[in-house]
Amino acid sequence: MIAPQPEEIESAAEMLRAGGLVAFPTETVYGLGAIATDDIAVQRIFSVKRRPNEHPVIVHLADAEQVGEFAATWPAEAALLAAAFWPGPLTLVLPRRSGVATAASAGYPTIAVRVPAHPVALELLRRVGTGIAAPSANRFSNVSPTTAAHVWDDLGFDVEMILDGGPCDSGIESTIVECGSEIRVLRLGGLPAEALAECLGRDHIEIGGFTPAPGTHRRHYAPRARVMVLDHPHGLGAVANEPDVHVIGLNRDLEACPNPAFAAESLEAFARNLYSQLRLADDRGARLIVAVAPSGDGLAASIRDRLSRASAR
């Protein structure tokens, strides 16, 4: 595994303390970080990303003990989910402590927090000793970055430092759960909704509802090439043999396709490689990306969610 030296992580921490921006790896996607309580530094995240100011940012923490710095309450169900899934691809939206992280919360009365499961992110968080506000390290509405090279392609010299921790393991963003008067999934992601329900002893958890989340905009995570999503591999034959077509899907769904660009062995491999495949298709100048959507629930539902956003026009 690629791992930055401890001195590099220490300079990144110093850079953050001085009000700078540092891109760093998490297990989901790369984040563009600033100290969460430094409103001026957080404002710069918005301008570098070209992201509208009214979209709140997730605060990353070293452990659940830090939640109290940012959240006004710690509901029992949030504590259960955190105990089961942190560090990991789960973001909890909680009532915010007033006066804290105003820019990161975009002024909303709530705050999104998560403990990431990447050793470099955790080491950086431990060294700064407080929360790091970080959206995905891409320009607004581009595909999220899952390697340091993707971050460089999007943001280049606009950030002070990019920590390279190798390719992200999970590959799609965290699952976001609102823990207010009710429990609700605001964005599907790396942690399947079924696992949340099971942890809380419920039959199911509601998905959707109003949210200021930009990841829930219809057109998001979109490459330049047009994306066509097929629910069945049947229709594949007609398009797959045309020039400049980049075909991706699960191995088992691509048997009829002589030359797929990417045939995933598993759902995990599909999720891990999805964004890099969308970027690769653009780099190769593909005219069309054809994705065969995986069937079923769990991670398959999260992959279908990202494919449908990537294909929205």
The answer to whether 142 contacts ligand TXA (rule: CB under 6 A) is: no
Question: What's the CA gap between 61 and 108, in Å, rounded?
Answer: 19
Residue closer to Mg ion by CB (options 136, 147) is 136
Which tokens go with 136?
């995905």
- φ/ψ region of 234 (left if φ > 0, alpha if ψ in -120 to 50, else beta) reads alpha
Least distance between ligand TXA and beta carbon 42 (Å): 12
103 alpha carbon, distance to own chain's centre: 20
**Residue 71 phi, psi dihedral angles, 5° rounding:** -105, 145
Q: Cα–Cα distance between 239 and 133 in angstroms, integer?
A: 43
Q: Least distance (Å) from ligand TXA to the CB of residue 235?
A: 32
Distance CA 128, CA 126 (A): 6
Applying CB under 6 A, the span of 63-71, 134-142, 156-164, 230-238 interacting with ligand TXA comes to 134-142
Binding window for Mg ion (CB under 5 A); candidates: 7-15, 44-52, 128-136, 240-248: 128-136
Examine residue 176 and tell whether it contacts ligand TXA (CB under 6 A): yes
Q: Is 111 one of the binding residues for ligand TXA (CB under 6 A)?
A: yes
Residue by residue, what is the 3-state secondary structure of 15-43? HHHCCCCEEECCCCCCEEEEECCCHHHHH
Kindly state the smallest distance separating residue 29's Cβ from Mg ion, in Å: 7
Q: Which is nearer to ligand TXA, 152 or 239 (CB)?
A: 152
136 near Mg ion, judged by CB under 5 A: yes
Residue with Cβ nearer ligand TXA (17 or 139): 139
Nearer to Mg ion, 215 or 249 (CB): 215
DSSP structural state of residue 270: H
Q: Per CB under 6 A, does 135 bind ligand TXA?
A: yes
Kindly identify the residues of this chain, within the stretch 257-286, that bind Mg ion according to CB under 5 A: none
Tokens describing residue 121 = 């992110």
> Could you tell me the smallest distance in angstroms from the CB atom of residue 36 to Mg ion?
17
Q: Which residue sits closest to Mg ion, CB atoms considered?
A: 136
Closest distance between ligand TXA and the C-beta of residue 287, in Å? Answer: 28
Q: Which two tokens stand for residue 225?
A: 């090439």
Planar angle of CA 174, 82, 14, nearest 5 degrees: 70
On the question of a cis peptide bond just before residue 212, with omega within 30 degrees of 0, the verdict is no
Tokens read off for 246: 């980049």
Measured CA distances, 193 to 27, 77, 174, 200 (Å): 18, 15, 11, 11
With contacts defined by CB under 5 A, name the span among 60-68, 130-138, 191-199, 257-265 that binds Mg ion. 130-138
Q: Does 110 bind ligand TXA (CB under 6 A)?
A: yes
Residues contributing to the site for ligand TXA (CB under 6 A): 26, 28-29, 31, 55-58, 89, 91, 93, 105, 108, 110-112, 116, 134-136, 173-174, 176, 186-187, 211-215
Q: What residues line the site for Mg ion (CB under 5 A)?
A: 136
